Structure 1
Amino acid sequence: MASENPLLKRAYALNGDQNQIRAVYANWAKTYEADTLIGMGYVAPAIAAETMAQEIGQNDVILDAGCGTGLVGKELRSLSDAVIDGIDLSPDMLDQARKKDVYRTLNKADLTASLDIGDARYDGVISVGVFTSGHVGPTAMNELIRVIKPGAPAIITVHEQVWHKDGYRDHLDQMEKDDLAKICTIRETPYHQNEGYHCKLCILQAA
């Protein structure tokens, strides 16, 4: 069921234009957590972080791709001893994440382009709220897999609205055929509980 929440309508109406996305999140950064966690019942960060905590070892170095205000990083650090680096398109969201003091580094990055990160640098990658309407498409998953070590986990949420429309399942199957990643599990989990939205929680492993 489509949400009537005007904040989500604005976010989901984005068309992939990076300047427009930056502008929306610049205006939203300071109230984002109250609006999403409390107003929308945004549970995806906690669910994904709990899943990642079960997949990693002590002091593993994890990339939080599209870290926003740091909701995932905060959850993951409460559950593990992970060292976490964060990247995001929005400098204003990164400023909010910096206040949490849970990240080793925080840098601006465009997930629709090649990342300025070497191959196989991380012990895992987590990305929550990025693969959704008008933000980042499925091909960005290839870069996330590239920057993690062989056998390392990738925990990625895909909003239910784009899962079929944007061909995520087909893309993941192709990644597996191309020996880029193994699909371990794909399960449906709550996303914005108060809005009735779910997501596909994708648990992948780099080949």
Structure 2
Amino acid sequence: MKKHAPGLSAAYALSTPEESRQLYADWAGTYDQDFAAGQDYLLPGSTARAFAAAGGTGPVLDAGAGTGLCGQALRALGVEPVDATDISAAMLAEALRKDAYRDVIEADLLEGIPVPRNSYRGVVSSGTFTHGHLGPEVLPALLRVAAPGAWFSLSVNARFYEKAGFAGAFDRLLRGQWIRSLTLPEVRIYGPRATGAHKDDTALVALFRKV
């Protein structure tokens, strides 16, 4: 019997790193076709375009890179080099096949990213901050690996933004002069071919610079 592929509801229900590893190991091989193409997934491209339009340049870290859709979009826009990090080795294996990344790093963002401080001139993340176990508590780890002046383009599910504490976290970072120039354009996550309960969901793309 064919194994039923995981879906968005299962991803939104994640609560632990081990659950994430298991779900994305099961989903990696079908994610691009069954989910991204099937649900007209626009967010990776929107996140990449926002980064490029703001003046973001490489080297870039794609945090929660999954199968590499955002990195692929960055490369199409001429933004290189890009490294990928994700908790799922299976998803990173799919990302490598796209030949969009200089390197891939298997890591749980809750535990930090094993690269030196100030390694990147930009950080992007598309689809990582939804309804799962990751929230604004990972922002310090992302800021640590970014050089002063680095641009960030982080998509956050709009329904999750206030509830998870992103508004307060960004306010503290602004007041503490860790970041500047924060804007929050709202974009559609899915295109007109999407179906299901989440088809009209939107995301806020947190665009800002590290001080």
The TM-score with structure 2 as length reference comes to 0.90
SS at match of 1:123: strand
Which residue in the other structure is 1:39 paired with? 38
1:134-190 Cα offsets, whole Å, 9 max, x none, are: 131111112112211111101000012211111111111011112211143111111
Which residue in the other structure is 1:200 paired with? 204
Matches of 1:99 and 1:142, distance apart in 2? 30
Pairing 1:28–2:27 present: yes
Matches of 2:206 and 2:97, distance apart in 1? 29
Which residue in the other structure is 2:90 paired with? 92
SS at match of 1:42: coil
Matches of 2:140 and 2:34, distance apart in 1? 31
Structure 2 portions without partners, runs of 5+? 1-5
1:102 Cα deviation from its structure 2 partner: 1.4
1:121 Cα deviation from its structure 2 partner: 1.0
Which residue in the other structure is 1:7 paired with? 7
1:47 Cα deviation from its structure 2 partner: 0.6
User: How do 1:108-187 residues align onto structure 2 when only pairs under 5 Å count?
Assistant: 108-187=106-185
Identify the range of structure 1 (34-43 vs 69-78) with the bigger mean alpha-carbon deviation. Answer: 34-43
SS at match of 1:152: strand
Matches of 1:88 and 1:122, distance apart in 2? 16
1:81 Cα deviation from its structure 2 partner: 4.2
Alignment-mate amino acid for residue 8 of structure 2? L
Pairing 1:19–2:18 present: yes
Q: What is the identity percentage for the equivalent residue pairs of Structure 1 and Structure 2?
A: 34
Which residue in the other structure is 2:51 paired with? 52
Matches of 1:132 and 1:183, distance apart in 2? 23
Q: Closer, same or farther in 2 for the Cα pair 1:183/1:138, shift >3 Å?
A: farther
Which residue in the other structure is 2:63 paired with? 65
- Answer yes or no: is the 8 Å Cα contact 1:112–1:137 preserved in 2: no
- Answer yes or no: is the 8 Å Cα contact 1:148–1:206 preserved in 2: yes
- Answer yes or no: is the 8 Å Cα contact 1:36–1:42 preserved in 2: yes
Number of matched pairs? 199
1:97-148 Cα offsets, whole Å, 9 max, x none, are: 0101111101101111222122111010001111111131111112112211
Matches of 1:183 and 1:113, distance apart in 2? 27
SS at match of 1:117: coil
Identify the range of structure 1 (47-56 vs 93-102) with the bigger mean alpha-carbon deviation. Answer: 47-56
Matches of 1:183 and 1:135, distance apart in 2? 27
Matches of 2:164 and 2:79, distance apart in 1? 35
Matches of 1:170 and 1:92, distance apart in 2? 34
The TM-score with structure 1 as length reference comes to 0.92
1:192 Cα deviation from its structure 2 partner: 2.6
SS at match of 2:38: helix
Matches of 1:149 and 1:131, distance apart in 2? 22
- Answer yes or no: is the 8 Å Cα contact 1:83–1:104 preserved in 2: yes
Matches of 2:174 and 2:59, distance apart in 1? 24
Matches of 2:180 and 2:71, distance apart in 1? 24
Which residue in the other structure is 2:76 paired with? 78
Structure 1 portions without partners, runs of 5+? 1-5
1:56 Cα deviation from its structure 2 partner: 2.5
